[in-house]
Amino acid sequence: MKVVYPAKLIQEDKGEYSVLFPDLKGCATCGDNLEHALSMAQEALGLYIVALEENNHPTPTASSLDAINAEQGEYIVPIMVEVNDYRHNKTVNKTITLPAWLNDAGEKARVNFSGILQDALKQRLGY
């Protein structure tokens, strides 16, 4: 699931940048330079959205870029992130049922059953 939120990018002294998300209370980060700040902004956004979901809090609607007011020295930029990249990756065991002939053929071909099931589920669910 991809999300895009507007962020305020503020250049600080010595080329450092602060990043604030007006729609996401308390979501902020910074970076040593522009590239680092934008990378940190993606991480902050991804982790923030996952934390909201894990705690059953609603995800705020993102404002349009032109709805955010910028002060002198501030820039409004869109930050896009693939939220699934920040979800916890703990694994669970599943028991599945296959026809014996299909299981035998898969084992003979050294198929990674878990990998195939994961790929199929991601495709089916649109991830």
pLDDT digit string (tens) for 53-69?
989 999 999 999 999 99
Backbone angles phi, psi at 3, to 5 degrees: -130, 155
Q: Are 37 and 29 in contact (CB under 8 A)?
A: yes
Q: What per-residue confidence (pLDDT) applies to 120?
A: 93
For the residues 65-93, what does the mean pLDDT come to? 89
For the residues 83-91, what does the mean pLDDT come to? 80
Question: What span, in angstroms and rounded, lies between the C-alpha atoms of 78 and 85?
Answer: 18
pTM score of the predicted model: 0.72
For the residues 10-22, what does the mean pLDDT come to? 93
